[in-house]
Homo-oligomer: A and B are copies of this chain.
């Protein structure tokens, strides 16, 4: 009893033309007599015709699909990129397929292979590691792609990221300007180039001023781990006067560790967070934060990818966005300006 979905043939019949003509009208691939075209369009409308994407794809070899691979769909930074992308694609007849690599190389590989079997028109990938071994797959598929957020060794890749050195530097400079000398950097995972660069930027500020290097603690990727590592560090080291967090999850980890110990922000310790979410502002002490221009990045990713899809053959671009420091109440002058001589034992 299940009625068949309407095909191009039905439309053709109703409009009294051949299927080829219908296709030409609907895709504008070849000029068609205006009156006929009108009839075709009416017929299509009346029947509620939607071209079967599978058949179209099979013939043309390119799906109007953009595949996105991110390391973690529970990380708001990644989902906000996905969201920004979706906004860009929505009106242009593309669909978005998403997958999470969970930061594992082999998952990354298998998910990528599965998505490429759809022959997507383009690919956006946030690699789980700098090596990015799945790159070979992409090469083989010859699909236009953009690497986002992470830096890659792949010379052929278009990349969209933030200026991580500068991001680290503006945070550190702000702390130094406030008078802090005893600063802890909460880094997530140092084997990621972008995190290393944020560190480097921060460290270079101290270096250029002839100040001693900061302490760095590597917190790992997720929130609970970060919280534990930071707590352990705080319990076994002299308390810094300021903390610079390099990702949104480490920011949470720092907040958690400080809250547990009832360490006041910014009275005892100043804090700079990374990324800028509503929960960072909806606080008694809103967080000073290094804000990534997520929306702009999403748009840039799509702009670049779209250009590539449409045949642009310019050399690969490496677009870098500047982060903004949103100064709020969580950073203040240290209570003991000479931070090196005090602090808990």
Q: Footprint of B on A, CB under 8 Å?
A: 2, 5, 48, 50-55, 57-58, 63, 65, 72-74, 76, 79-80, 82-83, 86-87, 90, 93, 95-100, 107, 111, 113-119, 140-142, 223, 227, 249, 252-253, 255-256, 259, 262, 277-279, 281-284, 286
Contact = CB atoms under 8 A, between A and B. Distances in A.
Given A54-B63, A90-B99, A95-B114, 12 more contacts: A2-B142, A52-B58, A53-B118, A54-B54, A65-B97, A95-B97, A96-B97, A97-B97, A227-B282, A256-B281, A259-B284, A262-B284
Contacts of A277: 279
A186 B278 CA distance: 17
B74 A83 contact: yes
A16 to B, nearest CB: 25
A114 B279 CA distance: 34
A139 B87 CA distance: 27
A55 B93 CA distance: 20
A91 to B, nearest CB: 9
A55 B58 contact: yes
B95 A53 contact: no
**How many subunits of this chain does the assembly comprise?**
2
22 contacts: A50-B113, A52-B58, A54-B55, A65-B97, A73-B79, A73-B83, A73-B86, A74-B76, A74-B83, A76-B76, A76-B79, A79-B79, A82-B98, A86-B98, A87-B100, A95-B97, A96-B99, A97-B98, A223-B278, A252-B278, A253-B282, A256-B278
Contact of A98 (B54, B98, B284): B98
A243 B227 CA distance: 29
Contact of A73 (B74, B82, B116, B255): B82
A203 to B, nearest CB: 26
Contacts of A113: 50
B118 A54 contact: yes
A95 B83 contact: no
Given A79-B73, A80-B74, A115 B100 contact: no
Contacts of A80: 74
A78 to B, nearest CB: 9
Contacts of A55: 54, 58
Contacts of A111: 90
Contacts of A65: 97
A344 B119 CA distance: 64
A27 B322 CA distance: 50
A252 B282 contact: yes
